[in-house]
Structure 1
Amino acid sequence: MKRKRVSVLSVIALAGSLLVGCAGSGTEPAASDQPAAAGTGQGGEVQLESELVVAGNGATVEKLMKDKIFKKFNELYPDVKLTYVSGVSTEIVAKIKAQQNAPQIDVAVIEGAEQEKGRQDGLWEPLTEADVPNMSKVPQEYRVAENSGITVNVTPIGISYNKKIVEEKGLPVPKSWNDLTRPELKGYITMADVTSNFGRSPLIMLSYANGGSEKNMDPGFEKLKIIAGYMPTFAKSSAQLMQNLQNESAAYTTWTMARSLVLKESGLPLEFVFPEEGGNVVLTIASQVKGAKHPVAAKKFIDFLLTDEVQKMYATDLFYSPAVDVELPAEVAKMLEFDRSKIVTFDNDVVAEKTAEWIDRFNKEVAPLAGK
């Protein structure tokens, strides 16, 4: 039977802020003395440099990039040697900033908040539709400030819970961000610290749910102090969150729909809730590093990420909603549905400006309460 297909733009939300971040480790490529020559070849076709270094999240994101996206790109451009540098978005931005005088990374594919911090630090090369033709397919709602990057996928952040454990223990099904503070959840929660978007976005939403916002974080910190006492410690990576859920030492966590669906497809009985107060949508943004050694290949690769083929990979392999209008299998499109009316759009400038302050406050006021 022929499978029914629907347009993804009827499913995904229009919003922006803060990625799903996954921890990983990568080896930094050695610098070459001079970039390979690039220009126009016979027949007017563009010649790419012989190398390209891409930085992005680890775990399943890294696997998709290396196993499929890189291979498909090399089918088109077999002479380009591709190198992947994995890490969480904050680490990648810090590395690129440290290398400003001699960039070793050409393209960063990272979360929106960290991309915005990099923009404020002058790390990205502005892009145009002449550079990246597929950029024209990205809706205005997903456009990035100063065209310093291009959104390649999106996913909402909310609460995931293990349906089996919740039913067996008679625990509550979460509906609100404030449900995370219910005493019945003590001993069943795992959350990331606020250096990760999986911890930072829920902190901001706890503020929204209690009369605050990213501009008034006191309500969120007060609620997070309660939650801290329900856990032995805060997780340092998404890998640790996954481990805690898989070994059933926890039944609840806060992270993206994409991450929740990946584990559900692997057999873990996870359900994702987009809370009644709403939540933000995480943008994954591809940016060309300013001063990149391989700028022609960088632009071509970013354009490639917006092709229908790659956009479908993001949806079917990792359950990220595509950033462009592309048809998906009906069952995948249905899995990616959530209430668009509940989107909360964070002020990216405030988040980028205040994150370091929030991390410092978290370390002083919240982290010491874990397990108490």
Structure 2
Amino acid sequence: MGKRSVMGFIVVLVAVLCLQPVFAQGGKEAAATADMPYKGQTLTISMWGYNMDLLVKNVLKPFEDTYGVKIVTETGNNSDRFTKLAARKENPIVDVAYFAGTWAYEAMKQGLIQPYDPAKIPNLANIIEPAKDPLGGRYAVGYTIQHLGLFYRTDKVAPLTSWKDLSRTELKGFLSIPGITTTYGPAIVYMLSKAWGGDFSNTEVGWQKIAELAPSLVTAYNNSSELNALVIQEEVYAAPYTSFSWGNIKASGFPVASVIPEEGLVGSFSVASVVKGTKNEDLAHLFIDHLLSYEVQMAEAMDLVDSPVHTGVKLPAEIGENLTYGDELIAKLHFFDEGDTAALQADWIARWNKIFSK
């Protein structure tokens, strides 16, 4: 073999040897893609923005890393996000929507969400029965249970024992309640009706008490972040609070205590639904299954974000006491029919606006 031939052979051999790692890497990449069929896709989620740093850590980032997808979030309260979802009904850009039960019920009625396929959510088998289908028709899954209770500053306010105590003179100018369009706004009417009128259905009494409370309020808060800010600024000494916000209220550094009023607490599920018309139906189901997984449910509970519905999650006492967790607390929860509340929503919003426009 001549010198030129030998050199040519060496050049070809070196080229082949250099290409082998590239081919190997290419094969590895193809295998990874086969294992991650949704890699490179984008999933858009309509959700609340409260505790977003922890939601990214516990829920969103692990899903992105596991499945190679990008998550885009659209955040806001129930009302704002519902309005956007309805406006884009014919051409939805959201794939999964989080709502309070009443708003999810209305989304179901208006054809904004679709029934889920239980075969695509295997973790349904691991959650408490009422969370599997809280609306009926498989339109939503309850991914967390929560409650509305009362808290107060122990250095400023005598202990609260009843929902009636919101009317105490000493709270005038230092009280807040959730607005009517929030998750628990309607529940305030029910609880005041029970406290003052003896029955949840005696809502005329509840509305009378709302009107009497209005001048005593610093404001009616629109989300838990707003309430937390009012606590930190020492503008609010007592308020109904959502269980998922308790960790941040305690972190304010002020002496605060939560109570189970004699009339009980308001219980509810936050739910996740597949948006009707999504182009990412399988990926949407996969995300909801992820939301119900032991790992996510445990992580969210340990960070005092969401109370678990996964039956396998067992919490230390010092964590569980800050969440909607434990037989004693669960026994004190009152759940209100989402359909009934949704039917009243338009009238109650108008009634609320009339009171607070004065």
Please report the TM-score for the alignment, with normalisation by the length of structure 2: 0.83
Q: Cα offset for 1:279?
A: 2.3
* Pair 214,88 (structure 1): closer, same or farther in 2 beyond 3 Å: farther
Matched, 1:117 2:103: no
Q: Which amino acid aligns with 1:253?
A: A
Q: Which moved more, 1:210-219 or 1:282-291?
A: 210-219
Matched, 1:207 2:193: yes
Match of 1:107 in 2: 96
Match of 2:164 in 1: 178
Structure 1 segments unaligned to the other structure (5+ residues): 1-40, 167-171
CA distance in 2, matches of 1:225, 1:185: 16
- Is the 1:214–1:347 contact (alpha carbons within 8 Å) kept by the matching residues of 2? no
Q: Which moved more, 1:303-312 or 1:339-348?
A: 339-348
Structure whose CA Rg is larger:
2
Q: Deviations over 1:129-186 (max 9, x none)?
A: 21111112222222322111111111110111112322xxxxx211111111122221
Q: Deviations over 1:314-334 (max 9, x none)?
A: 212234220111122342123
Q: Which moved more, 1:207-216 or 1:277-286?
A: 207-216
Q: Which residue among 130, 135, 142 is the counterpart of 1:151?
A: 142
- Is the 1:189–1:230 contact (alpha carbons within 8 Å) kept by the matching residues of 2? yes
Q: Which residue among 326, 339, 356 is the counterpart of 1:349?
A: 339
RMSD of aligned Cα (Å): 2.2
Matched, 1:48 2:38: yes
Q: Cα offset for 1:205?
A: 1.0
Match of 1:136 in 2: 125
Q: Deviations over 1:260-318 (max 9, x none)?
A: 23321453322112211112212111111011121111111100001111101221223
CA distance in 2, matches of 1:130, 1:321: 25
CA distance in 1, matches of 2:50, 2:242: 15
Match of 2:315 in 1: 328
Matched, 1:95 2:81: no
Alignment of 1:270-309 (within 5 A): 270-309=256-295
Q: Which residue among 151, 155, 160 is the counterpart of 1:160?
A: 151
Match of 2:239 in 1: 253
Aligned-partner SS, 1:318: coil
Matched, 1:267 2:253: yes
Aligned-partner SS, 1:328: coil
CA distance in 1, matches of 2:304, 2:322: 12
More helix by share: 2
Q: Cα offset for 1:55?
A: 1.1
- Is the 1:198–1:254 contact (alpha carbons within 8 Å) kept by the matching residues of 2? no
Match of 1:25 in 2: none
Q: Which residue among 329, 341, 344 is the counterpart of 1:339?
A: 329
- Is the 2:231–2:249 contact (alpha carbons within 8 Å) kept by the matching residues of 1? no
Q: Which residue among 53, 60, 71 is the counterpart of 1:82?
A: 71
CA distance in 2, matches of 1:362, 1:81: 40
Match of 1:238 in 2: 224
* Pair 65,147 (structure 1): closer, same or farther in 2 beyond 3 Å: same
Q: Cα offset for 1:258?
A: 2.2
- Is the 1:260–1:271 contact (alpha carbons within 8 Å) kept by the matching residues of 2? no
Match of 2:180 in 1: 194
- Is the 1:312–1:322 contact (alpha carbons within 8 Å) kept by the matching residues of 2? yes
* Pair 274,134 (structure 1): closer, same or farther in 2 beyond 3 Å: same
* Pair 103,213 (structure 1): closer, same or farther in 2 beyond 3 Å: farther
- Is the 1:48–1:296 contact (alpha carbons within 8 Å) kept by the matching residues of 2? no
Structure 2 segments unaligned to the other structure (5+ residues): 1-30
Q: Cα offset for 1:82?
A: 1.0
Q: Cα offset for 1:209?
A: 2.0
- Is the 1:288–1:295 contact (alpha carbons within 8 Å) kept by the matching residues of 2? yes
- Is the 1:127–1:148 contact (alpha carbons within 8 Å) kept by the matching residues of 2? yes
Match of 1:38 in 2: none
Q: Which residue among 334, 348, 356 is the counterpart of 1:358?
A: 348
- Is the 1:233–1:367 contact (alpha carbons within 8 Å) kept by the matching residues of 2? no
Q: Which moved more, 1:210-219 or 1:50-59?
A: 210-219
Q: Cα offset for 1:233?
A: 3.5
- Is the 1:234–1:367 contact (alpha carbons within 8 Å) kept by the matching residues of 2? no
CA distance in 1, matches of 2:305, 2:258: 13
Q: How many residues align?
A: 321
Q: Which moved more, 1:109-118 or 1:265-274?
A: 265-274
CA distance in 2, matches of 1:164, 1:340: 28
Match of 2:115 in 1: 126
Match of 2:55 in 1: 65
Alignment of 1:28-47 (within 5 A): 47=37
CA distance in 2, matches of 1:147, 1:102: 22
- Is the 1:152–1:286 contact (alpha carbons within 8 Å) kept by the matching residues of 2? yes
CA distance in 2, matches of 1:277, 1:299: 38
Q: Which amino acid aligns with 2:205?
A: P
Match of 1:20 in 2: none
Please report the TM-score for the alignment, with normalisation by the length of structure 1: 0.80
Matched residues, percent identical?
30
